[in-house]
Amino acid sequence: MTDETLTIRLMCEQFAVTPRTLRFYEAKELLFPLRKGHARLFTRADRARMTLILRGKRFGFSLEDIRQLLDMYDPGGSNEAQLTRTFELAQKRLHQMEAQRAELDIAITDLNLQLAEGARLIAAFRSAAT
């Protein structure tokens, strides 16, 4: 059985975050560690969520955005209406992400052009320093 539950320390190591962060995420209902006495035990599900949380953060989603996305990765709302609402929300996110990628592509192209120009300038400086 992979009941491999982690203490807060180990969890912190695995994801390179502080205890404060994990407690904060629990408060924000992004993680739901079990309790053994008063201590937290992070489950496999929590670890899966953490991966998604960190990924979400890296491209600029807010924790609140991420919380909503996480709900979708769950077998949570088991009635059709809820499921449909969640599905539509996910589609909106997807469009946002695709738009973001499109902009990122443009920016990368721009920056590449600027880099080429920069390289040209530097080369000019060097050849001028004969």
Residue choice 11, 53, 56, 66 for contact with its own copies (CB under 8 A): 56
3-class secondary structure, 35: strand
Q: Is 89 left (phi over 0), alpha (psi -120 to 50) or beta?
A: alpha
Q: How far apart are CA 14 and CA 9, in angstroms?
A: 9
Which residue number, 23 or 47, has a Cβ lying nearer to its own copies?
47
- Residue 25's CB is within 10 A of a number of other CB atoms, namely 21
Q: Could you give the string, one character per residue 91-110, with x where binding to its own copies holds by CB under 8 A and - elsewhere?
A: x-xx--xx-xx-xxxxxx--
**Which of its own copies, DNA, none has residue 18 at its interface (CB below 5 to 8 Å by kind)?**
DNA
Q: Which residue has the tokens 């992979």?
A: 2
Number of residues that bind DNA (CB under 7 A): 17
Smallest distance, DNA to C-beta of residue 119, A: 28
Residues that bind DNA (CB under 7 A): 7-9, 18-21, 23-24, 37-40, 57, 62-64
